[in-house]
A and B are shown apart, each in its own frame.
Chain A
Amino acid sequence: MSPSSATNRKRNVNSFACVFVEFILFLIHLSPGVTSSTSPTSVRQCRRRFDVFTVTSESLSKLRNCPHSPALHGSDSAQRPSMTSENGQDPRIARISSAIRVIPNFPKPGIMFQDITTLLLDTRAFRDTVDLFVERYRGKDISVVAGIEARGFIFGPPIALAIRAKFVPMRKPKKLPGEVISEEYSLEYGTDKMEMHVGAVQAGERVLVIDDLIATGGTLCAAIKLIERVGAHVVECACVIELPELKGRDRLAEKPLFVLVNAA
């Protein structure tokens, strides 16, 4: 992508910012957990993904400076007003975003797979990823971090240890020994099941659900249901990556979602 076309695209976004504010106010009036970011449809390339996120963050920065905008501090994406770069984005996000590798046509043709294993090879970016979540959730009286098999197992335990919470694995069928409860959820074709141990989470506990990525939101939704079935409260869902075009955020109903990176 050429620098001039990127600049033009950024200008166009900025010029729509205040109209965008009104739209956001309308959506927030309907539902508090709604995203405030939009991204233009674009050819799916790794470098383009990062540029889209930069544009998105500029839009959000304009929103915060617009007189009618509500406080959006960190409500759905990683921004820290106290320590932001010029475009309002936490400076650690850029490195995290570029550390994620996109693999076309995996697991099947047409899917652009967001591969976080390259993030795990960048020790600073991996540390920053965990830190961003820990900073958000420390001191919020969260006693359980529920991580979804298997990539939720990579991010969940370090966060749980840092915020002094239990870690509870949410697993595919028949992996957990002993007594479990199950929740079925839809796939593109057919259904799958998620299981949680009976007794792992107590009624009234405050829970964070973590996974590497939210796509359609089906898996996160199943996790929320399992946790609520035992009388616990899901405070927030947290993912490294969101695929906003798949509208998983909407499927979580009123549950807040926090993500670090939006992937186009």
Chain B
Amino acid sequence: MFAAENGLKGDPRLQAISEAIRVLPHFPKPGIMFQDITTLLLDHKTFKDTVDIFVDRYRNMDISVVAGVEARGFLFGPSIALALGAKFVPLRKPGKLPGEVISEAYALEYGTDCLEMHIGAIQPGERALVIDDVVATGGTLSAAIRLLERVGGEVVECACVIGLPETKGNCRLNGKPLYILVEPRQIDNCC
């Protein structure tokens, strides 16, 4: 579900967030309009507003874990975790986390990839939020949900700054609610 339809209709912060995101055509390959959140991070007020919107939403939901998907989920997740008094759990590409991990494979356009989480990071029954910068098909977030549920965690919601058209208006992933701040800005195709 989009924030604008869920209590934040007309909130000027959402417009500022949308405008702070740079759109780059044909990256990483032709036909892709890349949503670049690095420009959002250069705008202190808007970056703070992004974090605050998520924190305000989740403050009273008894969330004890914020799981961030490598690497751009790391840019938002820890600030949210700190404000909520929750743990931050990084979900990483294979081979990055030391020690004992569990893995979950997910589909790419061509082939598969894998997401890993530390064993023992989450206790059964903990309420978790999953965060990433962008959701497209939802493959990565679905893998994240599966990882958390395998160790008995309860995924309360998945949260993303941007939701691409591939989400097809789905407001749930693996049965879990999906909360998105903005959709991609329409820009003139200059190339």
A and B assemble together:
yes
Contacts A176-B38, A177-B27 given; indicate if A115 touches B78 (C-beta within 8 A): no
* Minimum CB distance partner of A102 in chain B: B98
Contacts of A161 in B (CB 8 A): 44, 47-48, 51, 79
Within the assembled complex, what's the spacing in Å between the Cα atoms of A113 and B118?
15
Q: Does A10 make an interface contact (CB < 8 A)?
A: no
Question: Residues 100-129 of chain A: 1 if any B CB is under 8 Å from the residue's CB, otherwise 0?
Answer: 010100110000010101001111001100
* Minimum CB distance partner of B42 in chain A: A166
Min Cβ gap B45→A in Å is 9
Which single member of A107, A113, A166 contacts B95 (CB below 8 Å)? A107
Contacts of B43 in A (CB 8 A): 166
- Cross-chain pair count, CB within 8 angstroms: 102
Contacts of A178 in B (CB 8 A): 22, 24, 27, 36
Contacts of A200 in B (CB 8 A): 38, 42
B88 & A150 in contact (Cβ 8 Å cutoff): no
Interface size on A, residues (CB 8 A): 38
Min Cβ gap A172→B in Å is 9
B28 & A153 in contact (Cβ 8 Å cutoff): no
Question: Residues 67-96 of chain B: 1 if any A CB is under 8 Å from the residue's CB, otherwise 0?
Answer: 000111011101101100111111010011
Interface residues on B, range: 35 or more
Which single member of B22, B34, B82 contacts A127 (CB below 8 Å)? B82
Known A153-B72, A153-B75; further 19 A-B contacts with Cβ < 8 A? A101-B99, A103-B99, A117-B89, A121-B88, A123-B81, A123-B87, A150-B70, A150-B74, A154-B78, A154-B90, A157-B78, A161-B51, A161-B79, A166-B42, A166-B43, A166-B44, A167-B42, A178-B22, A197-B38
Question: Could you name 18 residue pairs across A and B whose Cβ atoms are closer than 8 Å?
Answer: A101-B99, A117-B118, A127-B82, A149-B71, A150-B74, A150-B96, A153-B72, A157-B47, A157-B75, A160-B41, A160-B47, A161-B44, A161-B51, A165-B44, A166-B42, A169-B41, A175-B71, A177-B36
